[in-house]
């Protein structure tokens, strides 16, 4: 697929200057750290009632939906200012790190561990009702900070962010459909011998995830943190505006991260939406099963359903292996837009349900009584319509990616009836989403 890309650094030089100036990122990181500290202190020491504590909605209603929305525009840039590795970076700068080589076991199997951690987080979020528990929210945040700090003490750089962080893993998979990409100009990199963008130079830190600009080939790992910009004397790094589906079309389902994240994410979304419906309560009453057991079974059923759709759809392509790059799953990139749009829709519904009570909650927590009069509510129906619109766009994006596959790499490999069958699978998944949303 021929693609024209626009270098935003060239058109808007101010963007490059902003990212290259490390004090700008310091301001953003400081703001994030202060917000993080507010959430932790408020959650641990503030009122236990979520209607009297802003920590819950700040975390689950504002910060997390903002992160999800950012995936579609700036990829993993949130990871560049994320406060979670802050303690580990602080310890490293004071020489409190063993700087051991990152074990090959962690490099090879970190993706599996991070997906398991993501599944555990979503399960705990739902079953333990973290989105309504100030203490639970703060404890969850601190557990990630401690995990990142432990790996920083053992290994150089941000090993947690590169290999284990479940939020970074999902962000990396989502970044594959971002409208921007951070890439080197390989012609300018040719002949470079310093590799300063990776190693650092003159007291300036290099790439925190061991890449360096010259190594960036996709959106999975690059944090778009700007560390490499002041280190490169060849002006190689570029921030490119692109077709958001171009990377999905190129990789054809080769990214192992996406192959595990996407079916679980879709399955968990279906399960989480069903749990909000009246039928879930009826089923819980009829079965007598604890919520943890019933939701776990629902989670497994959702995962099995999404995995079945992916595997059956991939079989309809009639080709799932290439002599050059091995096995791949072409249904995964087709369903990525729906998977991450579904996460946006889920978080948007939580935001819409709580935003009207956020300012009154602030007032109740800090004794500003008149703020309670600013309460408002957003009706369910417009939120459902907007959710349906987003999901429809995600399904159309999947059909577009399928169409591009069949026009190019899979030309003459996919019979018409198989092509129609794959479209039917996309429509079936859309039907499931709309059924549980309304």
Q: How confident is the model at residue 411 (pLDDT cuts 50, 70, 90)?
A: confident
Which residues, at least 6 apart from 233, have a Cβ–Cβ distance to it below 8 Å? Answer: 196
Mean pLDDT of the chain: 90
This prediction has a pTM of: 0.91
For residue 229, pLDDT over 70 is answered with: yes
Look up residue 227 and give its two tokens: 């560390």
Where do the domains of the chain lie?
1-244, 257-438
The whole-number pLDDT of residue 93 equals: 86
> How many C-beta atoms surround the C-beta of residue 4 within 10 A?
8
pLDDT in tens, 274-323: 999 999 999 999 999 999 999 999 999 999 999 999 999 988 987 766 66
> How many C-beta atoms surround the C-beta of residue 117 within 10 A?
17
**What contacts 24+ positions apart, CB below 8 Å, involve 426-429?**
426/334, 426/335, 426/338, 426/395, 426/398, 426/399, 426/402, 427/395, 428/309, 429/266, 429/306, 429/309, 429/335, 429/338, 429/395
The whole-number pLDDT of residue 161 equals: 85
pLDDT in tens, 181-227: 999 998 999 888 888 999 888 888 888 888 888 999 999 888 888 88
Task: Dihedral sign for Cα 117, 122, 126, 132, please.
Answer: positive
Measured distance CA(14)–CA(21) in Å, rounded: 11
For residue 62, pLDDT over 90 is answered with: yes
pLDDT in tens, 9-45: 999 999 999 888 878 878 888 888 888 899 999 999 9
Measured distance CA(148)–CA(176) in Å, rounded: 24
Q: Across residues 243-269, what is the average pLDDT?
A: 88
Q: How confident is the model at residue 325 (pLDDT cuts 50, 70, 90)?
A: low
pLDDT in tens, 341-378: 999 999 999 999 999 999 999 999 999 989 999 999 99
The whole-number pLDDT of residue 26 equals: 81
Helix, coil or strand: residue 205: strand
Q: Across residues 100-111, what is the average pLDDT?
A: 88
Which residues, at least 6 apart from 72, have a Cβ–Cβ distance to it below 8 Å? Answer: 174, 177, 178, 179, 244, 340, 344
For residue 3, pLDDT over 80 is answered with: no
Task: Please give the span between the terminal C-alpha atoms of the chain, in angstroms, as a whole number.
Answer: 37
Q: Across residues 51-65, what is the average pLDDT?
A: 93
The whole-number pLDDT of residue 252 equals: 81
HEC per residue, 332-366: HHHHHHHHHHHHHHHHHHHHHHHHHHHHHHHHHHH
295 neighbors 126 (Cβ within 8 angstroms): yes
200 neighbors 231 (Cβ within 8 angstroms): yes
């Amino acid at each position: 697929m021929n693609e024209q890309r626009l270098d935003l650094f060239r058109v808007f030089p101010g963007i490059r200057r902003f990212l290259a100036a490390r004090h700008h990122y310091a301001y953003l990181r400081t703001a994030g750290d202060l917000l993080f500290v507010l959430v932790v202190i408020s959650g641990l020491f503030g009122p236990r009632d979520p209607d009297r504590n802003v920590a819950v909605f700040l975390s689950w209603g504002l910060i997390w939906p903002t992160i999800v929305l950012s995936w579609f525009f700036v990829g993993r840039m949130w990871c560049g200012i994320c406060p979670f590795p802050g303690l580990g970076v602080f310890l490293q700068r004071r020489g409190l790190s063993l700087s051991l080589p990152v074990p090959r076991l962690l490099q090879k199997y970190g993706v599996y561990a991070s997906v398991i951690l993501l599944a555990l987080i979503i399960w705990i979020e739902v079953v333990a009702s973290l989105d309504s528990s100030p203490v639970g929210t703060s404890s969850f945040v601190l557990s990630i900070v401690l995990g990142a700090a432990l790996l920083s003490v053992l290994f150089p750089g941000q090993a947690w962010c590169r290999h284990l962080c479940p939020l970074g893993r999902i962000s990396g998979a989502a970044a594959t459909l971002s409208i921007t990409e951070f890439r080197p100009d390989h012609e300018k990199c040719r002949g470079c011998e310093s590799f300063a963008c990776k190693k650092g130079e003159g007291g300036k830190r290099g790439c925190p995830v061991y890449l360096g600009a010259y190594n960036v080939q996709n959106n999975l790992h690059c944090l778009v943190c700007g560390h490499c910009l002041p280190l490169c004397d060849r002006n190689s790094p570029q921030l490119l505006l692109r077709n958001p589906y171009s990377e999905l079309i190129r990789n054809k389902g080769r990214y192992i991260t996406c192959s595990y994240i996407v079916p679980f994410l879709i399955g968990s979304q279906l399960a989480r939406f069903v749990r909000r419906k009246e039928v879930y309560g009826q089923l819980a009453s009829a079965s007598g099963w604890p919520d943890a057991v019933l939701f776990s079974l629902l989670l497994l059923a959702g995962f099995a359903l999404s995995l079945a759709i992916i595997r059956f759809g991939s079989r309809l392509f009639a080709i799932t292996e290439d002599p050059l790059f091995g096995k791949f799953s072409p249904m995964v990139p087709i369903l990525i837009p729906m998977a991450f749009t579904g996460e946006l829709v889920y978080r948007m519904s939580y935001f819409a349900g709580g935003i009207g009570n956020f300012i009154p909650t602030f007032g109740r927590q800090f004794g500003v009584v008149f703020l309670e009069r600013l309460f408002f509510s957003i009706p369910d129906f417009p939120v459902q319509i907007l959710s349906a619109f987003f999901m429809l766009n995600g399904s159309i994006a999947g059909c577009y990616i399928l169409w591009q596959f069949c026009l190019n790499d899979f030309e003459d490999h996919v019979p018409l009836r198989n092509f129609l069958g794959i479209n039917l699978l996309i429509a079936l998944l859309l039907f499931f989403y709309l059924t549980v949303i309304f």
